Amino acid sequence: PLTLEVKRQKRAQKHTQARRLTQEQIRPGTPEPVEGRVHVHVQTELYLEEISDRIIEVDGECQTDEFLDRPPTPLFIPAKSGKDVATQIEKGELFDFDIEVKPILEVLVGKTVEQALLEVMEEEELSQLWSHQRAFAELRNAEFAELQRLEEQDRRIREEKERRRLEHLEKLRKQKETAEKIAARAFAQRYLADLIPSVFNNLHDSGFFYDPIERDIETEFLPWLMSEVEEELQKKVLGRTMLDSLIRMVVETRLDEFSRPPPPAQTKAPAEEPGATDAAPKMSGEEDAADQPVAEKEETDQPVAEEEPS
C-alpha cells in the first residue's frame, strides 16, 4: 500500500509540473522594444518601494595603540662547562727570539733553495723532453713518409697486377670470341651453301620473282576488264528490270480495263471491246501470249459483272 501511495503522489507531482510548464509556455512574453526605446521595470503593487542599486554604506573609525619597538635579540652564548684554570708565565720563560728564530730562518732558506733547485731541474727536464719530442717527431715523420712511399708502391704494384690480370682476361675473351666467330662463320658458310638455292626456289614459288607483263595483266588489265563486264551486266539487269516493270504495268492496265463493267451503249456490241486493247503498245510476242489467258478470263467474268448492278 505504501508503494502504491508513493507512486500515486509522484504521478500527481509530474502532472502538476507538466501543467505548470505548459502554462508558462502558453503565457505570452513581452515583445522586443521598438528601435530607440528600452524596457523599464515598473512597480504595479499597491505600496511603492524604493529601489536602488547602490548599497547603503556607513563610515566608522577606531583608534588602536601604537606598536612598541622590539628590543634587539641578545647574542647566543652557550652555557659554560668545565672549570676555569689560570697560569702565570713570566717574560722570557716560553719564547726567546734569537734562539727560536734561527731554526725557522734555516727552514725558510732551505725550502727556498730546494724550491729553486726543483724549478731548475724541472726546466732542464722540460728542455730534454722537448728535444726528445722533436727527435721523436722527426723520426715519426720520416717513418710516416717511408710508410706512405711503401703503401704507394704497394698500391702501384697491385694496380699493375690487376691491370695485367684484366688484360690477360680480355685477351683470352677476345681469343675465345675470335675462335667462336671463325667457327660460326665456317658453320654458316657450310650451312648456307645449300640454303641460298632453296631460298630462291621458295621465293620463286611464293611469287616474289614474277614476270612484269603477267603482273601488269593481273593487277591492271584484269580488274579493269572485270569492272567493265560488271558494268555491262548491271546495264543488262537494269534493262530487264525496266522491261519487267513495263510488262507489269501493261498487264495491270489491261486487267483494270477488263475488270470494269461495260457501259450501257456498248452492251450491244461486245465484239468491239477488244479494239480498246489495241491502243496498248505491244512489247513482244511473249507479252501477247501472256495477256491472252487474262483476257479470256476477264471475258468469262463479264456476265457476272453485269448481274451485280441489277
Residues 116, 188 within the same domain: yes
Residues 230, 156 within the same domain: no
Q: Directed axis angle between helix 195-206 and helix 97-192, to 10°? A: 70
Rounded-to-integer distance, Cα 201 and Cα 208, Å: 10
The answer to whether 76 and 70 have CB atoms below 8 angstroms apart is no
- Is 264 a member of any domain? no
Percent of the chain exceeding pLDDT 90 equals: 35
Q: Which residue has the cell 672549570?
A: 83
**Selected residue with higher pLDDT from 266 and 168:** 168
Name the domain boundary from 179, 209, 239: 209
- Is 162 a member of any domain? yes
Supply the pTM of this predicted model: 0.24
Grid cell, residue 303, equals 456476265
The CA–CA distances, whole Å, from 153 to 12, 62, 144, 163, 264 equal 114, 109, 14, 15, 146
- Is 268 a member of any domain? no
pLDDT band at 247 (very low <50, low <70, confident <90, very high): very high
Residues 235, 169 within the same domain: no
- Is 303 a member of any domain? no
Residue 248 pLDDT exceeds 90: yes
- For 60-85, write each residue's pLDDT tens digit: 888 877 777 788 888 888 887 778 88
**How much is the pLDDT for 120?**
95
Residue 306 pLDDT exceeds 70: no
Determine the structural domain holding residue 108 and report its residue range: 100-209
**How much is the pLDDT for 271?**
47
- Is 23 a member of any domain? no
Q: If you average pLDDT over residues 229-244, what whole number do you get?
A: 92
The answer to whether 245 and 288 have CB atoms below 8 angstroms apart is no
| Burial track 167-204 (b if 16+ CB lie within 10 A, e otherwise) | eeeeeeeeeeeeeeeeeeeeeeeeeeeeeeeeeeeeee
- Is 181 a member of any domain? yes
Domain count, the chain: 2
Residues 168, 236 within the same domain: no
pLDDT band at 118 (very low <50, low <70, confident <90, very high): very high
